Structure 1
Amino acid sequence: MAVLGREQFRSAILQYVEVPGARFFRTLGLTPNSITLLGFAVCVAAAFLVGYGWLLWGGIVFLLGGGLDLFDGALARLTGKTTPFGALLDSVFDRLGEASLFVGLAIYGLRAGFDEQFTMFFLTALLLALIFSQGVSYLRARGEGLGVFTRAGVMTRTERVIILGVGLILDHFLGFSLIVWVLVAIAGVSCFTLFQRMFTIRNMLDKAG
């Protein structure tokens, strides 16, 4: 049995999830921009839940909010409403939604009753994960501004959303502050991805030039 590559998996998601979902949202009368804003609002709600220590529900809601990001672009293409501003809005609120969860995690870390040393470790891992994650997303946008398009990298936004959401859910059941180690993993792999994507863009620019 053949293993699906990333692009094949992406095509399958487009065909069996994004397009049917976009048709459903069209029947509800929603616009692509409204889905973008709804996804952001759901991520903020997830951050609120996480900040108050409800990691299970925070993880579930965050996965739902991140999942909505699949449909705004698909709906725009389906309805012929793709616009530069819509793409800009999507990019900005994707970053804000993800960042809001990190704020919720920071509040959780400060309220969780960890000792001072572990709290510092938690916050350091969180900040590094946030910095490198946003750096990866920025490189994609900057590359597009330079005329090259790439999703190259091990830890893209899709992987981060899934790992964060699942990590929060598993932390609820397994304990031992699993989410801290999830943040450490995201920070490390996102750092690698940042340089991986940077050199990919450099090679693409060299070929284009």
Structure 2
Amino acid sequence: MLRYVELPGARAFRAVGLTPNIITVLGFAVCVAGAALVALGWPLYGGIVFLAGGILDLFDGALARLTGRASPFGALLDSVFDRLGEAALFVGLGLYYLLADLSPPMMIISMLSVLLGLVFSQGVSYLRARGEGLGAFTRSGIMTRTERVAILGVGLIVEGLLPVPIMVWVLWVIAGVSCFTLFQRMFTIRGILERQAEDNG
């Protein structure tokens, strides 16, 4: 399904002369702008901008393949800026809660949700990179980056639209499911490595 979006978008970016690496950096900058809006107390606009940055990330790889400019460094750049863009949003959320008028218990709950969400989200992404370094390629798991970006963006938009602060509970869901995904992916990678060892044996 995504290819029906990626290819037309990649063609449009090629037509205006943008390169895959420029799209990667631009997507990161948009995500950081979304995080800044969240930190300033505008979750609705921050969520919309962050989703726009996540959507831009769909096109750098497609543009690289379309133009024949795919490279190991481009893949590395994309991976690094994906992680940094997502981490920036968690920083923005942390500032959002620090600047809010929250009771001490709610402040602790909110900040803990941000920290655990960041730790487990980055852990899932690290496992994929580490597995690929060992020759085990997998994107398995319930809460991958695509799901996290979508849930974070939509959660922020709903937070901005409703008078009820739901984002902290969204973060707890992300943290919990990401924790499960981390171990799910770890055992998937172990299975791949064991099969490779048997095949080589």
Q: Which range, TM-score by smaller chain? A: over 0.9
- 1:3-41 deviations in Å (ceiling 9; x for gaps): xxxxxxxxx111x10111100100010000000000000
- Kindly provide the amino acid, as one letter, of the partner of residue 171 in structure 2: L
1:100 to partner: Cα distance: 0.4
**TM-score normalised according to structure 2 size:** 0.97
- For residues 1-209 of structure 1, what are the structure 2 equivalents within 5 Å? 12-14=1-3, 16-209=4-197
1:173 to partner: Cα distance: 1.6
Whole-Å separation in 1 of the counterparts to 2:70 and 2:136: 20
Name structure 2 gaps, 5 residues minimum. none
Whole-Å separation in 2 of the counterparts to 1:175 and 1:202: 45
1:176 to partner: Cα distance: 2.1
- 1:126-167 deviations in Å (ceiling 9; x for gaps): 100000000000000011101111110000000000000000
Whole-Å separation in 2 of the counterparts to 1:125 and 1:45: 22
SS in 2 for 1:19: helix
Name structure 1 gaps, 5 residues minimum. 1-11
1:112 to partner: Cα distance: 1.1
1:177 to partner: Cα distance: 1.3
1:175 to partner: Cα distance: 2.8
- 1:65-92 deviations in Å (ceiling 9; x for gaps): 0111100000000000011100000000
- Kindly provide the amino acid, as one letter, of the partner of residue 101 in structure 1: L
Whole-Å separation in 1 of the counterparts to 2:136 and 2:56: 26
**TM-score normalised according to structure 1 size:** 0.93
Give the aligned length.
Answer: 197
Whole-Å separation in 2 of the counterparts to 1:197 and 1:28: 39
Whole-Å separation in 1 of the counterparts to 2:10 and 2:47: 24
RMSD, aligned α-carbons: 0.6
1:46 to partner: Cα distance: 0.3
Whole-Å separation in 2 of the counterparts to 1:77 and 1:18: 11
